[in-house]
Amino acid sequence: MLRKAIVPHFIGKDARDIESLLEYVYVVNSNYKYTGLPFWNCVGHLEVAIFDLLGKVIQKPVHYFLGKKVREYIDIYISSTTRETTPQQEADHFAKRLSETGAKAVKFKVGGRMSKNTDAMPGRSDTIVPTMRKALGDSITFYVDANGSYDTENGLRMARYLEDQKVDIFEEPVPFDEYENTMLITKAIKTMKIAGGEQDTSLYRFGWLAKNKVLDVLQPDLYYNGGFIRCLQVAAMAAKAGIKFSPHSPKTNPLAAPMLHLMAVVQNSGGFQEWHINYPRHKSWYTPHYEIKEGKIAVPSGPGLGITFDLSIWDKAAAVNC
């Protein structure tokens, strides 16, 4: 899809016309028939690369193009994406990472992922929150992600349980496309925020979600949703509706750079931003190496995304002909 349906319509065009190109690539040759996450994920990777190129050309960071910088540091939360651990194993892993990073928030999984109320292992979801609280303490902010594990009845039951446990954000309690059922849960919960949107790519749908306050936090994925420009449009929709914006971004190191630039300019930030728990050791083929101090990462200041790669990595790359 990237090679045949998307890239050819950018070749030979002026990169400064990126916003118009995003609209063009959607309709040219009836590309809208392929709309959805696979299509916009391809566009998002290309758009991010174009912004990196533009920044390097004029020696400015990407956030220079996106808007006024409103913060110098991004507060991060440590995010686990596994359900294969016991509650105690998760707690031990998080305790180690919090000690290393000084992070003040975590996100972990409940349910079984689009599992029709089936838990990943018996009793895991009902015991993980108290186990984590005992290990990490009352000062750590908890986010919990169900990945659409529950029907409405059980999603509401879990939401009320998590609210009683002082969880701050509950993500995707029911399947992501059950918007009315999600809204029922959002309206029923008073002190905990309901979040979602990582699977969505329709700007019209994001507008509807915001206007109707289906969610308290909109979470488009920067890549899945087509890049910086479309995510800024979603952030603006959220701001107009008086709700928060926080992109889905379970990444680290070079792949996390776009999120850092985006959240440097978004005013209605949903608090802490995602940083994967299994961040790798620093590699020699790129610089800089992000340092997390007191749970914060400095907004990149170098040209483009601020990442410099060792040119020798391209010796192993394969050319893609479009």
Cβ atoms 24, 32 nearer than 8 A = no
Give phi and psi for 221, each to the nearest 5: -85, 130
Cβ atoms 82, 275 nearer than 8 A = no
Q: List the structure tokens of 278.
A: 């299994």
Residues 6+ apart with CB under 8 A from 28: 9
pLDDT reported for residue 132: 99
Does this model's pTM top 0.85? My answer is yes
Cβ atoms 185, 155 nearer than 8 A = yes
Place of tokens 């890049």: 227
Mean pLDDT of the chain: 97
The angle formed by the CA atoms of residues 260, 114 and 106, to the nearest 5 degrees, is 35
pLDDT tier at 300 (50, 70, 90 boundaries)?
Answer: very high
Cβ atoms 21, 10 nearer than 8 A = yes
pLDDT reported for residue 198: 98
pLDDT reported for residue 64: 99
Domain 64-298, architecture per CATH = Alpha-Beta Barrel (3.20)
Any bridge partners for residue 244, and if so which? 217
pLDDT tier at 322 (50, 70, 90 boundaries)?
Answer: confident
pLDDT reported for residue 321: 76
In the chain, what percentage of residues exceed pLDDT 70?
Answer: 100
pLDDT digits (tens, 9 = 90+) for 165-176: 999 999 999 999
pLDDT digits (tens, 9 = 90+) for 18-57: 999 999 999 999 999 999 999 999 999 999 999 999 999 9
Beta pairing class for 273-276 and 286-287: unpaired
Largest CA distance in the chain: 58
Q: How far apart are CA 84 and CA 61, in angstroms?
A: 39
* CA 261 centroid distance within chain: 13
In the chain, what percentage of residues exceed pLDDT 90?
Answer: 93
For residue 2, the 8-state DSSP code is I
* CA 288 centroid distance within chain: 22
Cβ atoms 21, 51 nearer than 8 A = no
Instruction: Classify 12 as helix, strand or coil.
Output: coil
pLDDT score of 281 more than 80: no
